[in-house]
Chains A and B, each alone.
Chain A
């Protein structure tokens, strides 16, 4: 009984009301070819990458950068980012400064061969000092080049404004 039902189910399901022209197949092929040919004249989706680049939305997670404000970094070298980093890419060494915030990072290095662009550092940062930029072209020719120090990481707050606004709105 059960087997019979299964057998009936596995029968090939075909539309019964196909007209003769549809069964003759040739005209259906011509219809398919018309669809294929009509695609030729439609706009293309390809972006000619090295010449044309996409403007990324503020939510895009590119390489992490340090925000620079009034000539110094916002970072107070608390080390939370380095703690939370799942890939152990961030190394922070704190030093003391005469400014009101008292602490600053003497050394701040991100090993870009280890970074996985997860954005945890940005999420955990109490000062909004480390944020994800929209840069994605990161090719190095040596290991030493892949370690980004403060010279490469610091970006001014005006430059990172879209991302900062995005974070304020969505966090």
Chain B
């Protein structure tokens, strides 16, 4: 019995959205974010609903659904409701190419089906991801403009300027990896991180191979997700709430959701590109069955994912917001030269293979 590819993709989409993304948004986004900020500020945080307040999202999310949807009288109504839709669609569709694990061997009627734990194994996945993440600026800028509010407009403009500046170093820092792997396929990039590096001690993850690229990529990702050191588009003390000042109810909820999804996208991209994705180092010495190995690898991916999300949240409470000129200085005078340097160094190492001495 052969499963039709369309049905298989559909089932995978359902599994990814219902079992991975929604719980991630509700538990990590709503619960962990609030709980962690509370702990860092010596508070307790939500603890009324369920054990340790774990069911807080059942209070938060229905509340957003039942709120009145207000559209300002002077707003451009079509674009005003288009903005959150663009943001959310793009935030969800970036997960289509994310490799959550290697193939999972499932035996049905004695026939082994190798199911790829990835919705679509696109061979230009990196390009697709970069294209979508740069489209995300439209959701923010259009909603900022269409609200007909000065704060919203300023937030939208800031966001577009910030995204354009950091898009460059984001793309350039990935180029080092592309040069090493000769591939834009995310699955290939993860597979290439399987071996060992430096006399077989360190796993061959790109964080050790490309440390400069890692730093520039992480900083650029922070800027792309509009999270705290770079949250100029929605700076509360300056712009009320920035681009979503004029949004209420679920339209605001869609912005919140897409912001969290952008953070999860950033986390899974960092773990896929630089932290070895689903690779578990030294697993081949344990001698496990392929099924168990596959499950362990999925677990490893999500462990890395959650740790990076926690890292994002801790950074939020340990750094002040950049000033606008500091943001531009960092983007153009530091990040861009650093990522160019990374490309030059990678090219040098490929031409004169010094790194192969260590392997």
Contacts and interface: CB of A to CB of B under 8 A. Distances in A.
Chains A and B are bound partners: yes
Interface of A: 26, 29, 32-33, 35-37, 39-40, 42-46, 48
B75 interface: no
Interface residues of B, number: 14
The DSSP consensus for interface residues of chain B is helix
15 contacts: A29-B315, A29-B318, A32-B318, A32-B319, A33-B318, A35-B318, A36-B40, A37-B40, A39-B39, A39-B41, A43-B42, A44-B39, A44-B42, A45-B42, A45-B43
Contacts of B44: 44, 46, 48
A27 B191 CA distance: 31
Interface string B225-241: 00000000000000000
Interface in B316-348: 317-319
A30 to B, nearest CB: 9
B21 interface: no
A35 B43 CA distance: 16
A42 B314 contact: no
Interface in B279-312: 311
B42 A33 contact: no
Contacts of B13: none
A98 B314 CA distance: 73
Contacts of A36: 40, 314, 317-318
Contact of B40 (A39, A46, A48): A39
Contacts of B36: 40
Interface of B: 36, 39-44, 215, 311, 314-315, 317-319
Chain A interface mostly = helix
- With most chain A CB atoms within 10 A of its CB, the pick from B36, B215, B311, B318 is B318
Contacts of A43: 42
A48 B215 CA distance: 42
A46 B42 CA distance: 8
B295 to A, nearest CB: 30
B215 A29 contact: no
B314 A37 contact: yes
Contacts of B42: 39, 42-45
Nearest to B47: A48
Contact of A33 (B39, B215, B315): B315
Nearest to B41: A39
A43 B311 CA distance: 22
**Can you list the 4 inter-chain pairs with the closest CB atoms, starting with the nearest?**
A32-B318, A36-B318, A40-B39, A46-B44
Contacts of A29: 315, 318-319
Nearest to A28: B319
Given A39-B39, A43-B42, A45-B43, 7 more contacts: A26-B215, A32-B319, A33-B315, A36-B40, A36-B318, A39-B41, A42-B42
A33 B218 CA distance: 15
A39 B39 CA distance: 7
